Amino acid sequence: MKDSDSLSNRHNPEGRASEMFDADRFLADLDTFIRFKTCVDQNQPEFAAARAWIQAFFDPAVTAFDTFTFDGFTSLLIRPQGSERPRLLGDGHIEVVPGRSGLFALRQEGAHLYGRGVADMKTQCLMMMTALRDLLAAGQANDFWLLFSEDEEIGSAHGAQKMVELLDARGCLPEVIFAPDGGPDFAYVEKEKGMISFDVTVRGQAAHGSRPFLGVNAIEKMMALYADFQARFPNPRAESDWVPSLVMTRIGGGRAHNQIPDQCQASFDLRFTETSTAEEIVAALEEIGRSYAADFTFREIGVATYYPRERPLARRYINLLRQVSGKEPPILHTNGASNARFYVMQKPDVQILISNPTVVGAHADTECLDARSLPAYYQLIYDTARLV
């Protein structure tokens, strides 16, 4: 898989990372990591094998490991021996979305690497592992811990959410989290939208399909409610349109093809900006639903996050991004959410750092990593651990 041109230090004009970073070894490790089919449908032997491989990656003489299992989902905590509290915690997830079998091996075309997880997010997890291993070998780990979970793609309820609560109860939440689940091409993620996942049930009056005047169609009632939701929360028209979004993701109702349905259920996904609280959004939804006698079940509520670029650590980190990439870092406001929300919910003033190498196409068959960005990304994580 060696290609000297494709692994040139395009993003790091000073070449410092290339002096420490073994690209060929990293690509071999990435190929191994991707071959574990750690999919969200929970193939437990594959997850167990991946965790064993991760632990074998480190020198046990200087590394400690703890595993925590909640409802069948296991999280792995990696820390320097003797470290009692992290100064920097790297948060990642080792599960990936399903894909055809050919995606579970690293494939290279020039500078571009393809495979399930190269963008989201086995590359980032492996790079944090590599930097921590090298920092441990140099005696400079500086209380740098890693936390890897396996359910981020399905909401993190049994992984990061539980682990953040546990770490907080033990007094082990640091001031800084490196959560590289976003921020492509060395961007600084300043804002992430909050998320509310909820279900709604409305009821009508059953009647024969030939006599609509005798019934109340619950599906039509749900669609009218959806229209009112959308009027209150009109969807953005582009990534840069920083407003809330609300979409219906599932709908069901009716029991026979010739019967007016007396009940309808639907699921919704709402994302909101830092200008509103989750409580304000929930109150607005319930107010709209009141005239429909709608019943709400809120499955997940996550806060919107905001890490102003003017913060002292943020300024130093952005300068580091500038140094390693050789360009001005984009400042991103992202419509998606990450595990960062759980840290903010427990520790509102926590500093979250989110940046990726050059990746595109997460979850797609064309998921791609630009190998030329790897040395600079290694340098970013290595220096971030010493910056904090």
DSSP 8-state code for residue 160: H
Q: Which of 72, 77, 123 is nearest to 96 (CA)?
A: 123
Q: What is the pLDDT of residue 14?
A: 46
Give yes or no for residue 4 having a pLDDT over 60. Answer: no
For residues 8 and 354, the model is more confident at 354
Give yes or no for residue 302 having a pLDDT over 70. Answer: yes
CA distance linking residue 125 with residue 123, whole number of Å: 6
Give yes or no for residue 339 having a pLDDT over 80. Answer: yes
First CA to last CA distance, the chain: 35
Average pLDDT, whole number, for the chain?
94
Contacts of 382 (CB under 8 A, 6+ apart): 17, 20, 131, 134, 135
- Set out the domains of the chain in order of their start, with CATH numbers: 17-192+304-387 (3.40.630.10), 194-302 (3.30.70.360)
**What percent of the chain lies above the pLDDT cut of 90?**
91
Look at 6-10, 256-260, 272-276 and tell me which has the smallest mean pLDDT: 6-10
Pairing of strands 351-353, 107-109: unpaired
Give yes or no for residue 135 having a pLDDT over 50. Answer: yes
Phi-psi region of 363 (alpha: psi -120 to 50; beta: other; left: phi over 0): left
Residue type, 117: G
Contacts of 190 (CB under 8 A, 6+ apart): 306, 307, 308, 309, 331, 332, 333
Q: What is the pLDDT of residue 16?
A: 59
DSSP 8-state code for residue 142: T
Q: How confident is the model at residue 10 (pLDDT cuts 50, 70, 90)?
A: very low
Per-residue tokens: 8: 């040139």
CA distance linking residue 76 with residue 133, whole number of Å: 16
Q: Are 356 and 184 in contact (CB under 8 A)?
A: yes
161 three-state secondary structure: helix
Distances (CA, A) of 309 to 141, 184, 325, 386: 26, 17, 18, 20
Contacts of 227 (CB under 8 A, 6+ apart): none
Q: What is the pLDDT of residue 13?
A: 43
Q: What is the pLDDT of residue 17?
A: 44
Instruction: Report the predicted TM-score, pTM, of the whole model to 2 decimal places.
Output: 0.90
CA distance linking residue 274 with residue 198, whole number of Å: 19
Q: How confident is the model at residue 327 (pLDDT cuts 50, 70, 90)?
A: very high
Q: What is the pLDDT of residues 181-231, one digit of tens each?
A: 999 999 999 999 999 999 999 999 999 999 999 999 999 999 999 999 999
Q: Are 54 and 140 in contact (CB under 8 A)?
A: no
List, as one string, the DSSP characters of 257-321: TTEE-SEEEEEEEEEE-TTS-HHHHHHHHHHHHHTTT-EEEEEEEE--EE--TTSHHHHHHHHHH
Q: What is the pLDDT of residues 340-383, one digit of tens each?
A: 999 999 999 999 999 999 999 999 999 999 999 999 999 999 99
Q: Give the number of other CB atoms < 10 A from CB of residue 170.
A: 10
H-helix or E-strand containing 162?
helix 160-169
Q: What is the pLDDT of residues 21-54, one digit of tens each?
A: 999 999 999 999 999 999 988 789 999 999 999 9
CA distance linking residue 156 with residue 342, whole number of Å: 9
The residue whose two tokens read 């990304």 is: 377
